[in-house]
Structures are given as C-alpha cells and as structure tokens.
Amino acid sequence: MTFDKEKSRRLVGLFLFVVVLYNYPILSLFNISNRISGIPVLYLYLFFVWILSIILVVVINRYPRDNKFPDIRD
C-alpha cells in the first residue's frame, strides 16, 4: 500500500472517530450541570475533542510510518 493510500485511510478513520465523539449519545454524557474551574463540562469536552482531532491530523500528515518491507522479488 502506498503512503498516500495509507494516509487517506487514516484520515477517514479519524474523521469517523471524531463524528462518533461529536454524536448525540456521547455528547449527552457530558451535558451535566457540573463545572470545572467555572467552565461547563460540555464545553471542555468539545474543546478537548477539537484539539485532539487537530493534533491527530498533524501527526498523521507529518510523521509517516516507516513500514519498509523487504523486497522478496529476485
């Protein structure tokens, strides 16, 4: 598999993962009246998922995996 295809598959997987994290059942877990340092828990969760998704996109795009398989063709 070429690096571009592998990177595309990872980005699609990351997109689907973030969609699940932003979906209703997960969001409803954090929609509570508690606050951390005066900030609602839901806002902290949304910000954390947003920052995490940006960091993972950067990691996927910047650092390729070095899966070099030996060439067995003789």
Q: For residue range 9-56, what is the model confidence (pLDDT) as tens digits?
A: 999 999 999 999 999 999 999 999 999 999 999 999 999 999 999 999
Residue labelled with tokens 């795009």: 61
The answer to whether position 72 is within a domain reads no
Selected residue with higher pLDDT from 8 and 4: 8
Looking at the structure of the chain, the number of domains it has is: 1
| Residues 33/26, Cβ–Cβ less than 8 Å | no
Distance from C-alpha of 4 to C-alpha of 65, rounded to nearest angstrom: 11
- pLDDT score of 55: 96
The answer to whether position 40 is within a domain reads yes
The domain in which residue 12 lies consists of 3-62
Alpha-carbon torsion (64, 61, 47, 31), positive or negative: negative
The residues near 72 (Cβ < 8 Å, ≥ 6 apart) are: none
The answer to whether position 69 is within a domain reads no
The answer to whether position 73 is within a domain reads no
Three-class secondary structure of residue 3 per DSSP: helix
**Could you tell me the pLDDT band of residue 65, with boundaries at 50, 70 and 90?**
low
- pLDDT score of 2: 73
